[in-house]
Amino acid sequence: MESNSKMLQVTSYIGSALLTVGIVIFLYGAFGTGLTTTIGIGIGTVMGAVFVFLMGIFLVVTEEMILNSRSCKKESV
């Protein structure tokens, strides 16, 4: 259970850092320079942050379900 908690914390830290960087890049492109490529890079970074966060949560939930199903099988035998 402790490894799941650590993995979830790392995933949230990385996701929030990427999200912050993506928002800064997007705002810089939208209000600072007006370059559409910078806006696209910002949007892509935000989407990547969401993807990383969702994949991290998916891995934690999957691992937890596998461990719970193994413990239920051991108890029933």
| Burial class of residue 50 in the structure, from the number of CB atoms within 10 Å of its CB (0-12 exposed, 13-18 middle, 19+ buried) | middle
Q: For the chain, which residues make up each domain, given as ranges?
A: 2-64
The pTM for the full model equals: 0.82
Give buried/exposed letters for 52-76 (b at 16+ CB in 10 A, else e). bbeebeeebeeeeeeeeeeeeeeee
pLDDT for 31 = 92
AA identity, residue 64: E
Q: Cβ(11)–Cβ(56) under 8 Å?
A: yes
Question: What confidence tens digit (pLDDT) does each residue in 29-72 have?
Answer: 999 888 889 999 999 999 999 999 999 999 999 988 888 887 77
pLDDT value for 9: 92
Q: How far is CA 30 from CA 19, 49, 50, 74, in A?
A: 16, 19, 20, 57
